[in-house]
Amino acid sequence: MKAQSILLLALFAFSGACSRPRPVLVPEISPPLALEEVCAWTGAPAWNLLFPCGGGVGWIDAAGRIVACDLATKKVTEVFAVPFAVTAPPFLQGDLLVLQDKASDRLLIYDLAERALKFDASRLGARQVLGVDADCLVYHDNGQLSVNFWRRSGTVFRSEEKSARFFNCFFSPERILIPTPERLRTFWKKSGRFASEPLPQTAISPFLFSAGHLYYGASGRFLVKYSIDEKKLIWKLKLGQALERRPLAFAGTIVASPEDRNLLQVNRRGSLLWWQGLGSALSFDLLPMSENLAAMLLNREIKFVDPRRRQVTPFPGAARPLGPPLAWRGDLYFMTCEKESCRLLRLGNRYGVDIELEPAPVLWSGSSLRFTVRMQNLIEPRWECEILDAQDRTVFSRSKEGGGKASLVWVPPQAGKYVIRVRAKARNRDAQGELSLQVLDAQQVVPRFYLHF
């Protein structure tokens, strides 16, 4: 028995030694962060909405066209020429973009993923679009709610009950939920029937629909959880100030940002797990990323909050955004515009090579020159360092593997101008860094370093 136990332990140890090493992952956000210009153009966009499009970032330009910027080439190309002037705020849900011209009462639905026009109609009477999915378009005109089966027969169902205000709406295979401040309106797709029920607390924020429940900010400074199937209040949490922005479902919890400039993380039983002071009011709603929540603040600071690890990564002094940011592929994108000059900016991890000389008053020929090379967020890089003289001749070269920090030493043979160049190839991307330096001749007398004896 003892021999068998020893054999099993040996097998476990051997399998552990032979198992593949875990892949190295780069955190979604890690300091130092880098803010870079993706592209620039002249002429303010027609609307400030950003969206993923054609493998890049898209918007509606001054001419009313849907355009997209390729993030690799940084070139802007036309995706779709809208056949009318977009005079109402564009509505985006998933990959479907709804564009309207109020003057001609014309509306179209464009699929950004397929890059195809899906629906084009006039005289719908859509005053405000509330939601869109692969089958239905939900809108209202003067408080009358309408559901248009645009993908199929184009049949329109209208509710007789009116409301002065509608929030966001939610789709499921069986029904559509359309909340108002006082009531929850439900449209049953199979029967084409509208139903209505009162909410336990008057809503003052857009709604979150998650796992059969509605979460929203309510009058009296409450965060409310309401069960749709049971039609009853599950709990309400008293807040320091009113919650007017939509709650978020994130990392298995509910995150809210009331007007007291705090961020609250609440579990689904209504208990406060964590809170974080933001230090300023939000410019836009909290934006969920994969691991972080992006908070763009009025004091021109951007904070990335990781509720799982309870970490906050700030980025101060950002440019004032033209409109809501877009979180896409681990980076944050936003537009800025000054007069007619506009830019698309990207904020995220810095991927590159840092070269730093060790402090020295003067670099002399014949004396050792020490410098460090550091890889920034590169996975398993292979890199080559070379030093070039003024005639672009290689006077030093070294190849290495691995990230982190490496120290190198070189003795300049003579005075002159040199360039340290490092090229790195990694699993996630390639990068390059350069540093120029001037080496002086130690045998020549330099007046400001001349010593009198």
Per-residue pLDDT tens over the stretch 303-346:
999 999 999 999 998 889 999 999 999 999 999 999 889 999 99
CB 351 within 8 A of CB 313: no
The set of residues, in sequence order, having a beta carbon less than 8 Å from that of 202 and lying 6+ positions away, is 181, 182, 218, 219
421: helix, strand or coil: strand
CB 425 within 8 A of CB 381: yes
DSSP state of 58: E
The number of angstroms, rounded, from the C-alpha of 120 to the middle of its chain's C-alpha atoms is 31
Structure tokens at 237: 């949490």
Q: Which segment of 17-21, 94-98, 281-285, 410-414 scores lowest on mean pLDDT? A: 17-21
CATH architecture observed for domain 352-445: Sandwich (2.60)
Cβ burial of 381 (10 Å; 0-12, 13-18, 19+) is buried
The set of residues, in sequence order, having a beta carbon less than 8 Å from that of 251 and lying 6+ positions away, is 307, 308
User: Which residues, listed in sequence order, are joined to residue 60 by a DSSP beta bridge?
Assistant: 66
pLDDT at 361: 79
C-alpha span between 209 and 171 (Å, rounded): 10
The answer, yes or no, to whether residue 198 has pLDDT greater than 80, is yes
Amino acid found at 328: W
The answer, yes or no, to whether residue 356 has pLDDT greater than 50, is yes
pLDDT at 451: 45
Amino acid found at 82: V
| Domain ranges within the chain, ordered by starting residue | 34-349, 352-445
pLDDT at 18: 52
pLDDT at 452: 44
pLDDT at 340: 82
* Residue found by looking up tokens 């199929």 in the block: 152
C-alpha span between 326 and 52 (Å, rounded): 8
pLDDT at 357: 94
pLDDT at 55: 87
pLDDT band at 453 (very low <50, low <70, confident <90, very high): very low
Structure tokens at 114: 């397929």
C-alpha span between 284 and 323 (Å, rounded): 8
The set of residues, in sequence order, having a beta carbon less than 8 Å from that of 287 and lying 6+ positions away, is 293, 294, 295, 296, 324, 325, 326, 327, 332
Distances (CA, A) of 212 to 94, 227, 280: 20, 6, 33
Structure tokens at 223: 């965060």
Smallest Cα–Cα separation from 231: which of 187, 197, 205, 194?
197
pLDDT band at 448 (very low <50, low <70, confident <90, very high): low
* E strands in 211-364: 213-218, 222-227, 232-238, 248-250, 253-256, 262-266, 272-277, 287-288, 293-296, 302-306, 311-315, 326-328, 331-338, 341-349, 352-357
Supply the mean pLDDT for the chain.
Answer: 91
The answer, yes or no, to whether residue 61 has pLDDT greater than 70, is yes
CATH number of 34-349: 2.130.10.10
Encode burial over 153-165: b for 16+ CB neighbours within 10 A, e otherwise.
Answer: eeeebebeeebee
Per-residue pLDDT tens over the stretch 216-256:
999 999 999 999 999 999 999 999 999 999 999 999 999 99
The number of angstroms, rounded, from the C-alpha of 233 to the middle of its chain's C-alpha atoms is 33
Average pLDDT value for residue range 67-87: 94
C-alpha span between 60 and 52 (Å, rounded): 12
C-alpha span between 137 and 388 (Å, rounded): 63
Structure tokens at 234: 């599950």
pTM (predicted TM-score): 0.85
Structure tokens at 356: 């730093």
Cα 133–Cα 216–Cα 208 angle in degrees, nearest 5? 30
86: helix, strand or coil: coil
352-445 shares the fold of 34-349:
no
The answer, yes or no, to whether residue 7 has pLDDT greater than 70, is no
Helices of type H across 192-302: none
Per-residue pLDDT tens over the stretch 369-402:
999 999 999 999 999 999 999 999 999 999 999 8
pLDDT at 153: 73
DSSP state of 364: B
Stretch (H or E) spanning 14: helix 2-18
